Amino acid sequence: MSGGPATGTGDLAAAVLSGDRRALARGITLVESTRADHREQAEALLEHLLPHAGRAVRLGVSGAPGVGKSTLIEALGLLVVGRGHRLAVLAIDPSSSRSGGSILGDKTRMAELARHESAFIRPSPAGTTLGGVARRTREAMVLCEAAGADVIVVETVGVGQSETAVAAMTDLFLLLVSPGGGDELQGIKRGIMELADVVAVNKADGDLLPAATRAVAAYAGALHLMIPRHRDLPAVALPVSAMEGTGLEGLWDELLRRRAHLEATGELRAMRAAQARDWMWSEVREGLIDRARRAAGPLAAELEARVGDGAVLPHLAAARILERVLQDPEG
C-alpha cells in the first residue's frame, strides 16, 4: 500500500467492495487488531463500507456443545450457496482462546463449505471479553456484507450470554437442540428460548428419530406458552438432521418466510434501528471501561484488591476511578 494510511484504506475498501476475499480477510484482521493505528484504519475502512452493508439476511445460530452446529452450518450453508447466495460464517466465541480455537477446528470440519467459492468462513478471534468479541463480529459483518455476502451466519456456543449478543446483531435466531426431550428442555434457559425464531431439533435420524419427534412436540408446547418475540410470528419447532440433510430445505424456507414477514411489517427496520442504538451504547460502555482502566493505572489493581477484601465499598471505588477518567479525559 502506498500514499499513507488514508489512501491505503481507500484501496482496501475498494478491494473489499469488489468482492476480493483476501482483501476481506485483511480488513477483518484490521478490525480485530487492538493496535491504536490499526483501530484508526479500521474505523476509516468501516466508514467507507458501512453504506454498502445492511442488505444481508443475518442469521444467528446457537446450541450446546456437540448439538451439531458445525454439521448444520456446513449442510445448510451448502444448500444456501447452491441457491445462488453468497454466504459468510462468523463466530462469537469468547472461549476460543481457552479451547485453542474450536472454530478453527470447525473450518476443517466445514471443509466442503470452506472450499466453496461463494462461502467465506472466518474463525473467531481469541477474545477476552464478550463485548470485545461482539464488537469485532459486528464490524466483520459489515465488511462481509460490503464484500457481497447476502447471507451471514453468526454462530455461538450456547453456554453463556453470547446468545443475547448474537440475537442483538442478527435478524433471525436459530436455536439448535438435541433430541434429549424433557430433561434437556429444563436445562435451556427460558430467556434463550424466548430469543428463538426457530428451535430445530437436530439428529432426527436413525434410532434418535422417535425421541426427536417427541422433543419437537415438547419444544412446540414450551414455545406456545411464551410471549413471542414478534407478535403474529410465533416461534416454531422443527425436526432436522444435519447429517442426513433432512428438514434443511424446510428450515431455510421457514427462516426466509419469517425474514420476509419482518421486512414487510417494518419490524426488521425497527429491530435493526434498536440494534444500532444498542451497538452505540455498548461502544460507549466498552470505550469508557478501556479509558477508565488506562486512567486508573495501578490504582485499579489497588482498588480491586481492597474491594475484594471488603476494605472499600465497590461503589466508592468506582467513584474514585470515574473521577480519574474525568480528570484525564484523553486517557
Binding site for ligand GTP (CB under 6 A): 63, 65-71, 102, 157, 202-203, 205, 208, 241-243
Task: Tell me the three cell numbers of residue 6.
Answer: 488514508
Q: CB nearer to Mg ion: give 201 or 296.
A: 201
Radius of gyration of the chain (CA): 21
Q: Nearest distance from residue 102's CB to ligand GTP, in Å?
A: 5
Rounded Cα–Cα distance for residues 193 and 240 (Å):
18
- Least distance in angstroms from the C-beta of 70 to ligand GTP: 3
Comparing CB distances to ligand GTP, the nearer of 48 and 203 is 203
In angstroms, the CA 97 to CA 136 distance is: 15
> Shortest Cβ contact with ligand GTP: which residue?
68
**Partner whose binding site includes residue 66, from ligand GTP, Mg ion, none (CB under 5 to 8 Å by kind):** ligand GTP
Report the residue number, 19 or 123, with the smaller CB distance to Mg ion: 123
Q: Supply the minimum distance, in Å, between the C-beta of residue 93 and Mg ion.
A: 9
- Should residue 70 be labelled a site residue for Mg ion when binding is judged by CB under 5 A? yes
What is the identity of the amino acid at 201?
V
Q: Which does 87 bind (CB under 5 to 8 A by kind): ligand GTP, Mg ion, none?
A: none
Interacting partner of 67 out of ligand GTP, Mg ion, none (Cβ under 5 to 8 A depending on kind): ligand GTP
Contact in structure between 17 and 146 (CB atoms under 8 Å): yes
- 157 phi, psi to nearest 5 deg: -80, 130
Select 31 or 192, whichever has its Cβ closest to ligand GTP.
192
Task: Please report how close the Cβ of residue 199 comes to ligand GTP at its closest, in angstroms.
Answer: 15
71 forms part of the interface with Mg ion (CB under 5 A): no
For the CB of residue 263, give the shortest distance to ligand GTP in the complex, in Å. 29
Contacts with Mg ion in 102-121 (CB under 5 A)?
106
Residue 32 or 106: the one with the smaller Cβ distance to Mg ion is 106
Please choose, from the candidates 69, 58, 109, the residue with its C-alpha nearest in 3D space to the C-alpha of residue 93.
69
User: How near is the Cβ of 70 to Mg ion at its closest, in Å?
Assistant: 3
Q: Residue 95, interface with Mg ion (CB under 5 A)?
A: no
Q: Give the nearest distance from C-beta 77 to ligand GTP in angstroms.
A: 12
> Which residue number has the CB closest to Mg ion?
70
CA dist., res. 303 & res. 285, Å (int): 20
Neighbour-count burial for 228-267, b at 16+ CB within 10 Å, e otherwise: ebeeeeebbbbbbbbeeebbbeebbebbbebbeebeeeeb
Coil, helix or strand at residue 211: helix
Which CB, 33 or 161, lies closer to ligand GTP?
161
Instruction: Report the distance separating Cα 172 and Cα 226, nearest Å.
Output: 17
What is the C-alpha separation between 231 and 229, in angstroms, rounded? 7
What nine digits make up the cell of 56?
444481508
Name the residue among 93, 88, 178 with its Cα closest to residue 141. 88
- Neighbour count for residue 279 (Cβ, 10 Å): 16
Residues 187-246 within binding reach of Mg ion (CB under 5 A): none
Distance, in Å, from the CA atom of 317 to the CA atom of 329, rounded to the nearest integer, reads: 18
Q: Which residues of this chain interact with Mg ion, rule CB under 5 A? A: 69-70, 106
